[in-house]
Amino acid sequence: MTTFDATRLNRIGDWMQTYIDARRFAGASVLVAQGGREVYYHDCGLRDVAANQPWQRDTVARIYSMTKPVTSVAIMMLAERGLFHLDAPLSDFIPAFSDMRCLVSGATSIDQTEACATPTLHQLLTHTSGLSYGFNPGVLGAEMAEQHIEFRGDKLTMAQMAVKVAALPLAFAPGSRWEYSVATDVLGRVIEVVTGKTLEQFFIDEIFDPLGMNETRFVVPPAAKDRFAACYTPLAGNAFSVGKVDTGADTLRQLDGADKSPFLYPQIQSGGGGLVGTIDDYLKFTEMMRTGGAGLIGPKTLDFMMRNHLGGDIASMGPRSFAEQPMEGMGFGLGGAVLLDPGRARAPGSIGDFSWGGMASTAFWIDPVFDLSVIFFTQLIPSSAYPARPQLRALVHGALT
């Protein structure tokens, strides 16, 4: 087995400290495991700058879109049981998605539409459904932002929010393009409809309890409140304005603390971005995926999930949206990106790496060639603020011997 050079691995801690010293990140942690054995861990900085509390291994963080692989695994667990097939139309589960319309090519207003097919579960899993996000450019993104259509906050239930999503046209005909979207949130509602459980209860019963992920939830566990990290932004305005970075005077402006966070009392259990947890909990999840399912899901199903489901790379699908990873040289599986060509992605990696990240700059990847699980935790929005992810990839691969 390929091993690591310890001296080169230790460069990771030095690199992390430069981010802390420059006030780019308040605090951070990195965990590297190979073949199920921890080969590197380091943390530094603060989880709460104002309170001068250190970032530690048991710090609870918002993982945002690293929730998506969990929801995608849950969907595939149900598919394995024969409860539906991936080509099933979304309207089979949420009738409001019947009789769909999509924006015409070049549309300049939300009413310029034409009839289209209802997206399938597979299209939702691969972000080719035509759904979008309110922070994406374009007519649909602007309308979603205007109507505050987002699976967070305490105003609406998941069922109500899904109906609001269905009332808008799609950005494009399903299957014709790739666009990062609320699709995985909608899949969370599908799980509730199929199982009759809340999304969190299904996760607890079927994934978290079996794996021992006792501190990963949609609400900060009461016992962990004093370990919940604050979240920061370097932006002067709306931190969710992805792609438009107007840096403020304070590179660590606090967005959300442990005292009044929406993650303390969430109404919606966002399957696309609502989980909080610890770095060791998430390692249990990535190791389950890397090693073949731990009895929760079949290894062949995981192989199916972690292969490219697009006709080429994401860039070939005409994306116009923000994404948590590069688009060139990267395909997309079910719930995460798949590395097709490290050269085109411009970052070291192995063909077949499965990865994704979160809005607060967290990230992970699973490397099937070198048997790696690598997880990075911090709390800074947006994740596009700094090139930490490709830098960490270079550091980890540079340490392999």
Among 195, 224, 241, give the residue marking a domain's end.
Answer: 195
Looking at the fold, whether 113 and 11 belong to one and the same domain comes out as no
Residue whose tokens read 């009392």 = 265
* Residue 176 domain-assigned (yes or no): yes
pLDDT higher than threshold 90 for residue 230: yes
CB atoms within 10 A of CB 160: 12
Q: Are residues 244 and 377 in the same domain?
A: yes
pLDDT of residue 245 exceeding 60:
no
Q: Are the CB atoms for 112 and 104 separated by under 8 Å?
A: yes
230 and 312 in a common domain: yes
Q: Which residues pair with 393 in a beta bridge?
A: none
Shared domain check, 291 and 146? no
Residue 390 lies in a domain: yes
**How do 53-54 and 253-256 pair as beta strands?**
unpaired
| Residue 251 shares a structural domain with residue 288 | yes
Label residue 371 by pLDDT band (50, 70, 90). very high
Pair 174, 26 in one domain: no
Residue-level pLDDT at 318: 86
Same domain, 220 and 131: no
CA distances from 336 to 10, 70, 79, 310 (A): 28, 10, 18, 12
Is residue 1 assigned to a domain? no
CA dist., res. 233 & res. 49, Å (int):
13
Indicate whether 156 belongs to any domain: yes
**Shared domain check, 392 and 274:** yes
State which of 128, 162, 195 marks the end of a domain. Answer: 195
Structural domain contains residue 234: yes
pLDDT in tens, 39-91: 999 999 999 999 999 999 999 999 999 999 999 999 999 999 999 999 999 99
Closest CA to 370 of 14, 29, 34, 7: 34
- Regarding whether 173 and 141 lie in a shared domain, the answer is yes
* Whole-angstrom distance, CA of residue 63 vs CA of residue 277: 7
CATH code, domain with 83: 3.40.710.10
Residues 265 and 148 in one domain: no
371 and 250 co-located in one domain: yes
CA distances from 171 to 117, 141, 352 (A): 12, 8, 29
Do the domain assignments include residue 86?
Answer: yes
Output the pTM of the full model.
Answer: 0.96
Q: What is the mean pLDDT of residues 357-361?
A: 97
* Confidence band, pLDDT 50/70/90 cuts, at residue 299: very high
Q: How confident is the model at residue 239 (pLDDT cuts 50, 70, 90)?
A: low
Residue ranges making up the domain that contains 185: 75-195
Tell whether 264 is covered by a domain: yes
What total of structural domains would you count in the chain?
2
Label residue 87 exposed, middle or buried (CB < 10 Å: 0-12, 13-18, 19+): exposed
Q: What is the DSSP letter of 291?
A: H
Asked if residue 215 and residue 284 are part of one domain, the reply reads yes
Peptide bond before residue 382 is cis, with ω within 30 degrees of 0: yes
